[in-house]
Structure 1
């Protein structure tokens, strides 16, 4: 695997781990997320990183298959350019539904 792609995959994995760490000492509940502005902004920043890394991977090698890769890039763009229309519900949905799947896929790709 290309060294740049491998580096970006590790960036994604590290961003996922950081998001998970925000909930290490409390329940992973939407209400907890929504009530904590710092956590919300930190999660959004890490999703930006994931989306940017994903964009670079797609541009470098379009044959790499990662579930919802385009949607993650689109979410990154929404956070950056449409910051006033970012939905807590959408971000939370990514955290609880998509990031666990993404983690497994990235770990699998890094093992290849």
Structure 2
């Protein structure tokens, strides 16, 4: 693993954990009606995607060990450049379907450092 990779993985874990904690127990409808939470979640997905983009550039072998890492980067690009077409249901899908596997992969990689 390249020297910068652990910091990037920790950034991903921190942002993903924030999303997990702040949305735990909520419904899609509650998420849709809470603008501050939606924007905070979107910002943390942007951080995840940017850290993943940097990880891919600095350490492509480590990035490749994260499920769907290219899709994570693409999601970041949509959030940043397509802010006006963001569907909260799609963001919610990322929360409910993609967050747990991402956290598992990142925690596994960070666990190899111990």
Equivalent residues, number = 110
Q: Which runs of 5+ in 1 are unaligned?
A: none
Give the alignment of 1:37-52 within 5 angstroms. Answer: 37-52=35-50
- What is the TM-score of this pair, normalised by structure 1? 0.92
Runs of 4+ in 1 over 4 A off after TM superposition: none
CA shift at 1:82, angstroms?
1.0
Aligned positions of 1:54-73 closer than 5 A: 54-64=52-62, 65-73=65-73
Q: How does 1:83-94 map to 2 (within 5 A)?
A: 83-94=83-94
Q: Distance in 1 between matches of 2:67 and 2:99?
A: 10
Deviations 1:75-109 (A, max 9, x none): 11111111111111111111111010000000000
In the alignment, structure 2 segments of 5+ residues that lack a partner are none
CA distance in structure 1 between the aligned counterparts of 2:92 and 2:68, rounded to whole angstroms: 15
TM-score normalised by L of structure 2: 0.91
RMSD: 1.1
